[in-house]
């Protein structure tokens, strides 16, 4: 490819809205252009990178026994009503876009569980046809409230999503493990340092799922990792070591004391009132009235200095819920009120830790709190668990070693769905070996292809520009003739080398523009093609061309002109 014919315009300045390196460099290097907030056009160089990533994904999924399909992006609204997920539309969990058409209401697919379930249900009716795993590479649409970081969080994205259908959970587990390993091979070929972690299933569902996290200083996610035993989990799903000790510390228990705390319904405001006693948020109980996934009221109790980690499907009380449970005084809830009202109290394991002076908590009276509250004397807990977000230094749930907190980007997510969709959608069954009609046991697997372009750009760049690995680079070689417009010998030598490399099957981008050497070399740095070949008058006078790797992994080498094509082809594996 000759740069004079390539649809490419490099930029010296980054766009004003670019906050991270991948966004800045992909725009400056002419790989992408912004059309609207969270919506991007891929220009020819960007498309070539996309196709390289897609090829790796296809090869590994095909090798794992998957079959490629192409499902509609426009979904009948009724399918989502049938699965029950239409109720989540508009939430952060499922920011779907719904459109009105002449044929009714349609969903611009944010994901394809409903559609693939309906599709396979119409084609498979016997256990003899199972297992089946299909995948597609297609555009998804998500009405993100806050698109940012270029391709890392967008409203329109390209995803490789796979779906498996098995006879039972044991078979589904085997298929899941196979795709899990295929994902690891994909990331290995991309050269990314990825950590699979236990995660929350969110709006997709399923009991077991994993996120594939790439450590990154610009990531919007975090996971915890135990350096001792290897435990890893997203902070939304991570748990910490259970504290075995309970009750009150040695010495006489404190007296329960009532305090007037006017207009102080929050943890920080109450801690401020008691600050003269040395009280901090860690000395308070945070009591959250919630409705669980089955619609039952519960009280979640955790130390006041910790953020809550609620199970999927649980939500905080709204005004109508408080009206239905008058014993729980909004802003001043104490766990004893739930005990008296028959509302189950579920508490984080941190509440079991011995405490001198007891806890400060709501008094279940407006503008009042109590101090000296003691577990099992002043309130009881019905169920213990990990309801606080894990932080750095918490004890590993497996070996008790201190946990590390790692900032990261989610690159993929896999789910063991079971019968979440097949169990509720009509006709999503097959006849098993015993002659019974049973629902499919499903798994689903998603990898953001367009996001991976940004993830790779974050991982492979320096101050001058991108440093693509060979596996996904748009071209293998960037041929830079210096002063070709003025020196005939340079132009002829570069053109000859270009033709020889192309004949050997090497993909070459040659800078045949009438640009200055400074501009050509700066653009070569910016574009990030792995191997650079510089043809200049001084080198030709010595009978050599300069060959170097963009990532600096080997020193620049002077190669005789007559041997250059063979050396370069061998260098790029052609």
Question: Which residue ranges form the domains of the chain, and what is each CATH number?
Answer: 21-238+405-457 (3.30.930.10), 257-385 (3.90.960.10), 475-571 (3.40.50.800)
Q: Where are the alpha helices (DSSP H) in 281-362?
A: 319-324, 335-341
> Euclidean distance between the first and final Cα of the chain, in Å?
17
Query: Which helix (H) or strand (E) element contains residue 445?
Result: strand 441-448
Give me the residue label for tokens 């132009």. 491
pTM assigned to the model: 0.86
Q: Where are the alpha helices (DSSP H) in 259-309?
A: 267-273
* CA distances, 433 to each of 133, 172, 429, 437, 439 (Å): 20, 16, 13, 10, 13
3-state secondary structure of 279: coil
Each residue's pLDDT, cut to its tens digit, for the chain (574 residues) gives 999 999 999 999 988 889 999 999 999 999 999 999 999 999 999 999 999 999 999 999 999 999 999 999 999 999 999 999 998 887 777 888 999 988 899 999 999 999 999 999 999 999 999 999 999 999 999 998 889 999 999 999 999 999 999 999 999 999 999 999 999 999 999 999 999 998 876 655 567 789 999 999 988 889 999 999 999 998 888 888 864 544 445 567 889 999 999 999 889 999 999 999 999 999 999 999 999 988 999 999 999 999 998 887 789 999 999 999 998 999 999 999 888 888 999 999 999 887 788 999 999 999 999 999 999 999 999 999 889 999 999 999 999 999 999 999 999 999 999 999 999 999 999 999 999 999 999 999 999 999 999 999 999 999 999 999 999 999 999 999 997 667 788 989 999 999 999 999 999 999 998 889 999 999 999 999 999 999 999 999 999 999 999 998 888 999 999 999 999 999 998 7
* CA distances, 351 to each of 243, 344, 463 (Å): 9, 16, 48
Nearest 10 degrees: Cα torsion 468, 470, 476, 481: 40
Give me the residue label for tokens 């709006």. 203
Closest to 447 (Cα-Cα) out of 411, 501, 408, 395: 411
Phi, psi angle pair for 385, to nearest 5° = -170, -170
Task: State how far the Cα of 399 lies from the Cα of 406, in Å rounded to an integer.
Answer: 19
Task: State how far the Cα of 350 lies from the Cα of 227, in Å rounded to an integer.
Answer: 22
Question: What are the tokens at 42?
Answer: 């891929």
């Amino acid at each position: 490819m000759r740069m004079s014919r390539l649809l490419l315009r490099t930029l010296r300045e980054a766009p004003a809205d670019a906050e991270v390196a991948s966004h800045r460099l992909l725009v400056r290097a002419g790989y992408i252009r912004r059309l609207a907030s969270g919506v991007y056009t891929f220009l020819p160089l960007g498309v070539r990178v996309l196709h390289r990533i897609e090829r790796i994904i296809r090869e590994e999924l095909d090798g794992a026994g998957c079959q490629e399909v192409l499902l509609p992006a426009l979904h009948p609204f009724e399918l989502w009503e049938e699965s029950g997920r239409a109720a989540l539309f508009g939430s952060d969990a499922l920011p779907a876009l719904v459109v009105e058409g002449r044929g009714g209401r349609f969903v611009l697919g944010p994901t394809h569980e409903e559609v693939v379930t309906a599709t396979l249900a119409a084609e498979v009716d016997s256990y003899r046809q199972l297992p089946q795993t299909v995948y597609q590479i297609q555009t998804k649409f998500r009405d993100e409230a806050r698109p940012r970081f270029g391709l890392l969080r967008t409203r329109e994205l390209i995803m490789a999503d796979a779906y498996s259908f098995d006879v039972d959970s044991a078979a589904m587990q085997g298929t899941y493990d196979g795709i899990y390993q295929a994902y690891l091979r994909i990331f290995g070929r991309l050269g990314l340092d990825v950590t699979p972690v236990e995660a929350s299933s969110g709006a997709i569902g399923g009991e077991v799922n994993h996120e594939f996290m790439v450590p990154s200083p610009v990531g919007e996610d975090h996971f915890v990792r135990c350096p001792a035993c290897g435990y890893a989990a997203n902070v939304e799903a991570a748990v910490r070591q259970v504290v075995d000790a309970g009750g009150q510390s040695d010495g006489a228990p404190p007296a329960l004391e009532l305090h007037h705390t006017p207009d102080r319904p929050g943890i920080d405001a109450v801690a401020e009132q008691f600050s003269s006693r040395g009280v901090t948020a860690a000395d308070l109980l945070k009591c959250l009235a919630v409705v669980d996934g089955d619609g039952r009221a519960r009280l979640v109790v955790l130390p006041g200095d910790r953020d809550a980690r609620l199970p999927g499907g649980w939500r905080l009380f709204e005004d109508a819920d408080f009206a239905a449970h008058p014993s729980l005084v909004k802003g001043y809830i104490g766990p004893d009120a739930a005990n008296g009202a028959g509302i189950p109290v579920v508490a984080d394991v941190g509440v079991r830790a011995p405490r001198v002076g007891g806890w400060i908590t709501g008094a279940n009276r407006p503008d009042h709190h109590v101090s000296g509250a003691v577990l099992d004397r002043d309130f009881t807990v019905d169920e213990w668990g990990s309801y606080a977000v894990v932080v750095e230094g918490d004890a590993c749930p497996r070996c008790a070693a201190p946990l590390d907190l790692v900032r990261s980007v989610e690159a993929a997510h896999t789910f063991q769905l079971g019968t979440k969709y097949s169990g509720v959608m009509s006709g999503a069954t097959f006849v098993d070996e015993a002659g019974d009609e049973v629902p499919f046991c499903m798994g689903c697997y998603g990898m953001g292809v367009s996001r991976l372009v940004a993830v790779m750009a974050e991982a492979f760049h320096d101050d001058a520009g991108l440093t693509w690995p060979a596996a996904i680079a748009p071209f293998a070689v960037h041929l830079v003739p210096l002063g070709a417009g003025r020196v005939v010998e340079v132009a002829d030598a570069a053109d000859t080398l270009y033709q020889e490399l192309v004949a050997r099957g090497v993909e070459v981008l040659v800078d045949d523009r009438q640009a200055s050497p400074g501009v050509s070399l700066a653009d070569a740095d910016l574009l990030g093609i792995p191997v650079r070949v510089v043809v200049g008058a001084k080198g030709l006078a010595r009978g050599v061309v300069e060959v170097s790797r963009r990532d600096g992994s080997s020193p620049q080498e002077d190669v005789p002109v007559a041997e250059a094509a063979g050396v370069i082809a061998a260098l790029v594996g052609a």
